[in-house]
Chain A
Amino acid sequence: MIEVTYGPRIDYSFCDGCGSCYDNCPTDAFGWDDDKGLPVVVYPAECWYCGICELDCPEQAIDVEVPLNVKLWFGIYPEVNPTA
């Protein structure tokens, strides 16, 4: 499977496994890791950027990354490091 760079991202150093994102995502983009008791982003490509997961996360552990087309047309450009 090809990894995409957009969609919700979970910072596990903050996530406390409350399950709000997993329960409420309207497109069911999240799955659940039973072993760890934590949510996982299984279908990032099915994100429609409603922002509900990010908004409702009590630990602010979620950041929804927008896709390239949105970055281009909204003028949100990546940092370019000429020495890299």
Chain B
Amino acid sequence: MTVTLEQLADEIVETDILILGGGLAGCMAAIRAKEKNNLDVVVVEKAAIMRSGEAGHGVDHYPGLAHPKINAIDAEEYGRKRAGDLHPLVSTKLSVITAKNAFKPLALLEDIGVKIREEDGTFKVAPGRLKVLPRAIERQGLVKGDFVLIRAADLKIKLAAEVRKRGVRVFEHTMLTNLITKDGSVTGATAVNVRNGKFVVFKAKGVALTTGAMQSRIYSYPYATFPNNLFIGSSCPANLGSGAAAAYRAGARLINLEFVDVHVCALGWDFGPQGATMMGKMKNLAGEDLFEKYLRVTTQRGKGAFYPWGAYAFMPDMSKPEIDRNVISRHWDGVGEEAELYQHFSGANETPFVLKLMRDRGGLRKAPFELFPWLRGMPRGISGVMMDERGETSLKGLFVAGDIVGGLPAYAGPGAYVWGSRIADHLTEYVPDAKKPVLDGEQIMQVRAERDRVRAPLGRKDGVNPLELEDLVRKINTYYVGINKIEPRLERALELIKVLKERFVPTLMARNPHELMRALEVQDILDLSEIHAQTALIRTETRMPPHHYRVDYPEQDDMHWQKSIVIRRVAGEMKHTLETLA
């Protein structure tokens, strides 16, 4: 008996450009795609675009700038240097493209009312990644910094208003579950409304995947109580990498999945949602300044008490396991007023909850803040879905932008604006020539299987609680994968994940659409955990410890491993190749 799409879906939506994820990159892509043409654009968002994503609670900075109006840094050189820091895991070409275009989106943001400049029209420039720049440039005294402080507490509110003003159709509280593919092209996606449980099929000529990094819900945050521990983290817990998991399942190429991001933070945050700046001196019990003494720093390094944080600011030195054997806290003794002012500025624009915590404890300087190490999943910028210079993935018609992208240094907001705009430009070129999306026999079978998978937890009783399963897999990742990786434990992690997938997932239970979202998310977490452990097992060397530290292969082996591990799913199995990005 043949089944029609109409019988399978509660709602069918057809569009020219489908944007999955309404954060910075998704909103930017939607706005740009509507700039010059009459194409129909749809944004699908798990939460609500006004407050979703890493920038949901506001933004206080615009990093990664190399421009005559800001500093005297050459964009090409800056892009090369940023890629050079992460050589050979990222693409220099893509880094240079990002750096060269990073200034442009400021104009659009100002047009829609985001407060970028000071009252007198100047940019407030902070040191940012100054230390990573060539010393020659620094010595010339020309450089102020690459990091502009902005008052963008309402950034997402303004972007969301613009998205709607331009006539983009927005589907909120709607979670992507999988992509629909046809002969290696992506022709749509399936989604579920997490409020009413409706199963929605989107058909599109071109698809953008802008769902964020694989970070917040891969490892355990051991310092909070269950189930709140699943949601505390240094980035928004709604962004766990569901888009990357869907891209993997659809056969797209992903890169550098073996790495792990290590942070030292309070409340799961670096004293604020999503890794916002926290200043003060980081000390151990002996009063030693850890930042100077024990921590090796990769791409970011501040001066004095000013420590701008970002995607991977801190790398505990594995030969000095201070992090595990001491009490670490942030102290404010002897820290200047400028840093305190900045902390308040940051609170007012990016981390509103921090201001409340400071008030409740009786002031910023009252006592030290205790800090904890936390593994926040795969590092954004390094790990993610691979794209070419048009932002297209290895699947035709599927474009990516923002934190989901792998093989590109983390350019944070500017990365999302630049690539959001670029993929919109390429999609608007690609879409008019693309065929009308037709879902025929094979795609209908895909949709049918997906509907059965998506709906299944709602029909079960006495099954497994999705949050319990999530806690378990994240504990497995923390204990068996974690920082100190060794073959037998990685293999054990894979055995356990296999059991969870085969025996526990088929009993997942959800009492309502909200719990169904959690049941679907944990399946994405399992898929990402599996490829994370698999790739960590493949890389038999240590590189950028603790991002990839193999106890059984403690040395960096450039002879064999000066390459990225690129993975792809073929007939249900993970296949990998070793590649060096241009």
Residues of A within 8 A of B (CB): 4, 6-7, 23-28, 31, 42-43, 45-52, 54-56, 64, 66-70, 73-76
CA distance in complex: A6, B224 (Å): 12
Residue numbers in A under 8 Å from B178 (CB-CB): none
Q: Verify A50–B236 contact, CB threshold 8 A.
A: yes
The 5 A-B pairs of least Cβ separation, nearest first, read A51-B353, A24-B51, A73-B370, A51-B352, A26-B47
Contact of B236 among A4, A26, A42, A55 (CB under 8 A): A26
Q: Verify A46–B227 contact, CB threshold 8 A.
A: yes
Asked if B568 CB lies within 8 Å of chain A CBs, one says no
CA distance in complex: A24, B45 (Å): 11
CB distance from A48 to the nearest CB of B (A): 5
Residue in chain A with minimal CB distance to B172:
A23
Contact of B361 among A25, A31, A56, A76 (CB under 8 A): A76
Q: Verify A50–B56 contact, CB threshold 8 A.
A: yes
State the total of A-B contacts with C-beta under 8 angstroms: 108
Q: Answer whether A52 and B267 are a contact pair too, CB < 8 Å, given A45-B228, A73-B370.
A: no
Contact of B360 among A7, A23, A73, A76 (CB under 8 A): A76
Residue numbers in B under 8 Å from A28 (CB-CB): 47, 173, 194-195, 514, 517
Q: Verify A4–B228 contact, CB threshold 8 A.
A: yes
Contact of B238 among A27, A45, A73 (CB under 8 A): A27
CB distance from A40 to the nearest CB of B (A): 12
Secondary structure type dominating chain B contacts: loop
Q: Verify A73–B56 contact, CB threshold 8 A.
A: no
CA distance in complex: A48, B360 (Å): 18
Q: Verify A75–B57 contact, CB threshold 8 A.
A: no
Residue in chain B with minimal CB distance to A43:
B514
Asked if B225 CB lies within 8 Å of chain A CBs, one says yes
Contact of A67 among B52, B195, B224, B361 (CB under 8 A): B224
Contact of B225 among A56, A66, A69 (CB under 8 A): A69
Residues of B within 8 A of A (CB): 47-48, 50-53, 56-57, 173, 194-195, 223-225, 227-228, 230-233, 236-238, 266-268, 273, 352-353, 356-357, 360-362, 366-367, 369-370, 514, 517
Q: Verify B51–A75 contact, CB threshold 8 A.
A: no
CA distance in complex: A42, B514 (Å): 10
Q: Verify B369–A48 contact, CB threshold 8 A.
A: no
Residue numbers in B under 8 Å from A76 (CB-CB): 357, 360-361
Residue in chain A with minimal CB distance to B216:
A48
Q: Verify B48–A23 contact, CB threshold 8 A.
A: yes
CB distance from B49 to the nearest CB of A (A): 9
Can you list 22 contacts pairing A with B, beta carbon distance less than 8 Å? A4-B228, A24-B47, A26-B47, A26-B238, A28-B195, A43-B514, A45-B227, A46-B228, A46-B237, A48-B231, A48-B232, A50-B56, A52-B51, A52-B56, A52-B57, A54-B353, A54-B356, A64-B353, A69-B225, A73-B370, A74-B361, A75-B367
CA distance in complex: A64, B230 (Å): 18
CB distance from A57 to the nearest CB of B (A): 12
Residue in chain B with minimal CB distance to A77:
B361
Residue numbers in A under 8 Å from B268 (CB-CB): 48
Residue numbers in A under 8 Å from B267 (CB-CB): 49, 66, 70, 73-74
Q: Verify B50–A27 contact, CB threshold 8 A.
A: no
Contact of A6 among B228, B233, B362 (CB under 8 A): B228
Residue numbers in A under 8 Å from B362 (CB-CB): 75
Among the interface residues B53, B194, B267, B370, which one has the most CB atoms of the partner chain A within 10 A? B267
Residue in chain A with minimal CB distance to B227:
A45
CB distance from B359 to the nearest CB of A (A): 10
Q: Answer whether A73 and B48 are a contact pair too, CB < 8 Å, given A4-B228, A43-B514.
A: no
Residue numbers in A under 8 Å from B369 (CB-CB): 73-74
CA distance in complex: A23, B362 (Å): 32
Q: Verify A48–B233 contact, CB threshold 8 A.
A: yes
Q: Verify A69–B236 contact, CB threshold 8 A.
A: no
Contact of B273 among A25, A49, A54, A70 (CB under 8 A): A49
CA distance in complex: A47, B361 (Å): 20
Q: Verify A27–B231 contact, CB threshold 8 A.
A: yes
Q: Verify A50–B47 contact, CB threshold 8 A.
A: no
Contact of B266 among A27, A54, A64, A74 (CB under 8 A): A74
Residue numbers in A under 8 Å from B56 (CB-CB): 26, 50, 52
Residue in chain B with minimal CB distance to A6:
B228
Residue in chain A with minimal CB distance to B518:
A46
CB distance from A2 to the nearest CB of B (A): 10
CA distance in complex: A67, B227 (Å): 11
Q: Verify A49–B266 contact, CB threshold 8 A.
A: no
Residue numbers in A under 8 Å from B273 (CB-CB): 48-51
Q: Verify B353–A25 contact, CB threshold 8 A.
A: no
Q: Verify B366–A75 contact, CB threshold 8 A.
A: yes
CA distance in complex: A4, B411 (Å): 38
Q: Verify A67–B225 contact, CB threshold 8 A.
A: yes
CA distance in complex: A64, B267 (Å): 14
CA distance in complex: A28, B51 (Å): 12
Residue numbers in B under 8 Å from A52 (CB-CB): 51, 56-57, 352
Residue numbers in A under 8 Å from B236 (CB-CB): 26, 48, 50
CA distance in complex: A43, B465 (Å): 14
Q: Verify A45–B231 contact, CB threshold 8 A.
A: yes
CA distance in complex: A46, B223 (Å): 15
Q: Verify A50–B48 contact, CB threshold 8 A.
A: no
Q: Verify B357–A70 contact, CB threshold 8 A.
A: yes
Residue numbers in B under 8 Å from A47 (CB-CB): 228, 231
CA distance in complex: A55, B347 (Å): 12
